[in-house]
Structure 1
Amino acid sequence: MSITIYDLAKKLNYSPSTISRALNNHKSIGKKTTLNIQKAAKEMGYKPNTQAASLRSKQSKTIGILISRINRPFVSTLISGIEDAARKSGYNVLISQSNDHYKDEITNANTLLQSRVSGLIVSLSMETKNTDHFKEFTDQGIPVVFVDRVPLSFNSYKVIIDNYNSAFQATQHLIEQGCKRIAHFAGSQHLNVYNQRRSGYLDALKHHNIPIDKELIINLKSLSFEEGKIATEKLLKLPLPPDGIFSANDTAALSAITYLKEQQIRIPEDIAIIGFNDDPIASIIEPSLSTVSHPAYKMGELSFQRILEHTTDRTIAGVSEIFVLDTSIIIRKSSKRY
Structure 2
Amino acid sequence: MHGEFFLILRKSSNYFAPYRFPHLTRTTMIDKSKVTLKDIAKELGISVSTASRALKAHPDIAKETVRAVKELAEKYQYVPNSLAISFRKKKTFNIGLVVPEIVHHFFSNIISGAIATANQSGYNVMVSQSNDVLQDEKAAVNAMLHSGVDGLLISISNETVLGEHIQELMHAGKPVVQMDKVTDHLKTPQVIVDDFDGAYQAVQHLIQNGYRKIAHFRGRPIVKNANQRYFGYLQALKDAGITPEKDWVKHCVQINEAEGYRFAKELLEGPNPPDAFFCITDLVALGVLRYLKEQKIEVPGEVGLMGFSNWKLAEISSPALSTVDQHGYEIGVRATQMLLDSLAGASISSDAITEIKTNLVIRESSGRKKVQQQTQEALVGNN
TM-score class, shorter-chain normalisation, is 0.7 to 0.9
Question: In structure 2, how many angstroms separate the alpha carbons of the residues matched to 1:262 and 1:327?
Answer: 32
SS, match of residue 145 in structure 1: strand
Q: Which has the larger radius of gyration?
A: 2
Q: Which runs of 5+ in 2 are unaligned?
A: 1-85, 374-383
Compute the TM-score of the two structures, normalised by the length of structure 1: 0.81
- 1:135 is matched with 167
| 1:273 correspondence with 2:305 | yes
Write the mapping of 1:231-270 to structure 2, written as runs, cut at 5 A: 231-270=263-302
Is 1:59–1:311's contact at 8 Å kept on the other side of the alignment?
A: no
- 2:245 is matched with 213
- 2:367 is matched with 336
- 1:73 is matched with 105
Deviation of 1:315 after TM superposition, in Å, equals 4.6
Amino acid at match of 2:113: G
- 2:46 is matched with none
Write the mapping of 1:254-333 to structure 2, written as runs, cut at 5 A: 254-313=286-345, 315-316=347-348, 319-333=350-364
Question: In structure 2, how many angstroms separate the alpha carbons of the residues matched to 1:168 and 1:231?
Answer: 22
CA distances 1:217-261 after superposition (whole Å, capped 9, x unpaired): 010002101111111111112212110000011001111112100
Write the mapping of 1:1-338 to structure 2, written as runs, cut at 5 A: 58-313=90-345, 315-316=347-348, 319-337=350-368
Deviation of 1:59 after TM superposition, in Å, equals 1.9
CA distances 1:157-190 after superposition (whole Å, capped 9, x unpaired): 1000111111111111111111111000100111
Is 1:225–1:252's contact at 8 Å kept on the other side of the alignment?
A: yes
Deviation of 1:55 after TM superposition, in Å, equals 6.0
Question: In structure 1, how many angstroms separate the alpha carbons of the residues matched to 2:100 and 2:306?
Answer: 23
How many positions carry a matched residue from both structures? 285
Amino acid at match of 1:329: L
Amino acid at match of 2:350: V
Q: Which runs of 5+ in 1 are unaligned?
A: 1-53
CA distances 1:281-338 after superposition (whole Å, capped 9, x unpaired): 111111111111111001001111011111132754x721000011111111000117
Question: In structure 2, how many angstroms separate the alpha carbons of the residues matched to 1:55 and 1:321?
Answer: 31
SS, match of residue 227 in structure 1: helix
Amino acid at match of 2:175: P
Question: In structure 2, how many angstroms separate the alpha carbons of the residues matched to 1:122 and 1:222?
Answer: 20
Identity within the alignment, %: 38
The CA RMSD over aligned residues, in Å, is: 1.7
SS, match of residue 334 in structure 1: helix
Amino acid at match of 2:364: K
Question: In structure 2, how many angstroms separate the alpha carbons of the residues matched to 1:296 and 1:279?
Answer: 11
More relative contact order, 1 or 2 (CA 8 Å, 6+ apart) = 1
